[in-house]
């Protein structure tokens, strides 16, 4: 799938602390043109802990030879984009790599429709409450 057809896109970037990622979502701008807009970024720790999820998401769209390389956008469909978005929003501010990895594995196995529902809740008005609830369900926090 080409990046122009994808609902979400993932971009791997280099930061001082290591590799990180930025998740983009296709949306309409004020002129009613489709553009990729930034949703959330993954810290280097969250990127490292969630690499299996991110790799599976990239491979689902681009084939088994896809690699998480820096620079270009990696297209993601709606299901995988929602899973990665949920992980990124859950991982925001957390520092326990073991729990982040556990959350990433749980989201990798999650249903795409359920992940989309949670993603919608976490990007709505009461986002902090939904993020906290999903963190507890995924055992990302005690």
Q: Mind listing the pLDDT tens digit for each residue in 88-135?
A: 999 999 999 999 999 999 999 999 999 999 999 998 888 889 999 999
Distance between CA 57 and CA 15 in Å, rounded? 22
pLDDT tens digits, 31-87: 888 889 999 999 999 999 999 999 999 998 878 777 888 988 999 999 999 999 999
| pLDDT reported for residue 79 | 94
| pLDDT reported for residue 1 | 56
Report the predicted TM-score, pTM, of the whole model to 2 decimal places.
Answer: 0.91
Average pLDDT over the chain reads 91
Q: Which phi and psi angles does 110 have, rounded to 5°?
A: -70, 160
């Amino acid at each position: 799938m080409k990046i122009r057809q994808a609902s979400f896109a993932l971009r791997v970037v280099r930061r001082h602390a290591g590799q990180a990622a930025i998740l983009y979502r296709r949306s309409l701008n004020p002129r009613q043109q489709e553009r990729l807009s930034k949703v959330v970024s993954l810290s280097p720790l969250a990127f490292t802990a969630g690499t299996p999820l991110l790799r599976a998401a990239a491979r689902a769209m681009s084939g088994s030879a896809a690699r998480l390389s820096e620079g270009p956008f990696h297209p993601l469909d709606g299901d995988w984009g929602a899973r990665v978005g949920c992980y990124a929003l859950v991982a925001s501010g957390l520092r326990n790599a073991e729990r982040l990895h556990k959350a990433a594995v749980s989201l990798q196995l999650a249903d795409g429709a359920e992940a989309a529902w949670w993603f919608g809740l976490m990007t709505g008005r009461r986002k902090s409450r939904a993020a906290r609830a999903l963190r507890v369900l995924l055992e990302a926090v005690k």
